[in-house]
Structure 1
Amino acid sequence: MCFCNGVPTANKLVWDCVVRRGMKTSKTTLEKGRILSRLLREVVLYGLVLLVAGFLGNLWMTRGQVSGAPPGLSGQIVQPDRVAGGTTAGRLDLAAYDKPMLLYFFAEWCPICKLQNPVIENIAEDYPVIGVAMQSGDAGKIRRYLEQRGLNIPVVNDPSGRISRSYGVNGVPAAFVIGPDGEIRYSTRGYATEAGLRSRLWLAGEAGPG
């Protein structure tokens, strides 16, 4: 015997019962599929909105930062204690690398920079990175900061903010991706993800001379 809606049926109606049950199951499955499809479309849409918002936000935040040929980078160069060279005075050539490099502006007093620093240290394992310490005190203070934060990169001390202003940087953290030809390809302002910085560095290398 088969029960449809709680009513026993004759054997000759068993097939009709099975068909009706199958139709209900198919309808439920179809409805679930429509719900999942709608949710997927919404997730994709929200993702695109976030990507566009992030792009426009970064574009607005970096609107005053320089592009093209970077200004000169000279001054007191500070190295962590574990790196030979200590503190010297000189000029760094941003076009001296055969691969993309990152110019990282930070400050000792900047809380967001403390979150950004581990990302920069990871990037420095694969790409050249030069730091610029904006209004962060003397060489000793900067060196202690580098040691405490695990930043193993050369840093140009910018006590007056002169270098930062020449790059249009009025807030930190900020970063510039410089191509192998020495031209600025991309810039960021505020916290930047490791994936975002790595993708920009990769694109700068793939693009070739500007």
Structure 2
Amino acid sequence: MSFGFYVTYVALWALVIFQSLVMFGMLREMLNLRQRLAPPPSPAQEVFGELPPGTAAPDFTARELRGGGTVSRVDLVGRRLVLLFLSPHCKTCEELTREAQELYRQASSPLVAFCAGEEGDCARHVEKHGFEIPVLHDPTRRISQAFGVMYTPTAIVLDARMRILAYSYPQNAQDMKQLLEQTAA
């Protein structure tokens, strides 16, 4: 092999390495541009985890699954209540829902449920359990995110001025009963 062959071989490899570096630089700049052009996150996307006690409950408006009317935060002001976040595909929620109906009838604290998921799935869940509890639909989980709910079931206790008092993660009817009794006090 001749000297010219080695020079050409090294030059071609240098060209390949140079092109790779240029491509990586272009990719990095495209990602930086994408981040700069992305819209800022909404307040609901910024919340991660529980909101501190004493924090005002986020504003929301949701459709009630049984009646079809809308309910907003303003409609619930003036009474202490428990918000129960459920999912129709959650096994614990399924078991808890069976007992929550009876507890709701016995407790003096109002209970409002939010169902996160497809409307059809939530409607079947409501129908299956014969809900008397008002169930609001949260199709995009935007309300759940605004409250910092990361998984279901989650219960949030609110005072009459719609300030957060506590979060709870009921796993059975006894947990829910204790929560409703504490809220009624």
Q: Same fold (TM over 0.5)?
A: yes
Q: Which residue of 1 aligns with 2:77?
A: 96
Asked which structure has the greater CA Rg, the reply is 1
Aligned 1:106-145 pairs, distance under 5 A: 106-125=86-105, 126=107, 127-134=109-116, 136-138=117-119, 140-145=120-125
Q: Does 1:184 align with 2:164?
A: yes
Decide whether aligned partners of structure 1 residues 105 and 75 sit closer, same or farther in structure 2, where only a CA change above 3 A counts: same
Unmatched tracts of structure 1, length 5 or more: 1-62, 80-85, 204-210
Structure with larger RCO (C-alpha < 8 A, sep 6+) = 2
Q: Does 1:64 align with 2:49?
A: yes
> Following TM superposition, by how much is the alpha carbon of 1:77 offset from its aligned partner in structure 2, in angstroms?
2.1
Distance (Å, rounded) in 2 between the aligned partners of 1:148 and 1:121:
12
Distance (Å, rounded) in 1 between the aligned partners of 2:176 and 2:113:
16
Could you tell me whether the CA contact under 8 Å between 2:62 and 2:138 is conserved in 1?
yes
TM-score of the two chains, using structure 2 as the length reference: 0.62
Could you tell me whether the CA contact under 8 Å between 1:69 and 1:184 is conserved in 2?
yes
Q: Which residue of 2 aligns with 1:76?
A: 63
Decide whether aligned partners of structure 1 residues 118 and 76 sit closer, same or farther in structure 2, where only a CA change above 3 A counts: same
Could you tell me whether the CA contact under 8 Å between 1:177 and 1:200 is conserved in 2?
no
Q: Which residue of 2 aligns with 1:201?
A: 183
* AA partner of residue 77 (structure 2): A
4+ aligned runs moved over 6 Å, structure 1:
none
Aligned 1:146-185 pairs, distance under 5 A: 146-185=126-165
> Following TM superposition, by how much is the alpha carbon of 1:78 offset from its aligned partner in structure 2, in angstroms?
1.3
> Following TM superposition, by how much is the alpha carbon of 1:73 offset from its aligned partner in structure 2, in angstroms?
2.3
* AA partner of residue 111 (structure 1): K
> Following TM superposition, by how much is the alpha carbon of 1:95 offset from its aligned partner in structure 2, in angstroms?
4.5
* AA partner of residue 120 (structure 1): A
Distance (Å, rounded) in 1 between the aligned partners of 2:73 and 2:127:
22
Percent identity, please. Answer: 21
With 115-124 and 171-180 compared, the bigger mean Cα shift is at 115-124
Aligned 1:12-51 pairs, distance under 5 A: none
Decide whether aligned partners of structure 1 residues 188 and 78 sit closer, same or farther in structure 2, where only a CA change above 3 A counts: same
Decide whether aligned partners of structure 1 residues 91 and 198 sit closer, same or farther in structure 2, where only a CA change above 3 A counts: closer
> Following TM superposition, by how much is the alpha carbon of 1:200 offset from its aligned partner in structure 2, in angstroms?
2.4
* AA partner of residue 123 (structure 1): L
TM-score of the two chains, using structure 1 as the length reference: 0.56
Q: How many residues align?
A: 132
Deviation per CA, 1:76-121: give whole Å up to 9, x if none. 2212xxxxxx2123524364343x2110000000000011113321
Unmatched tracts of structure 2, length 5 or more: 1-47
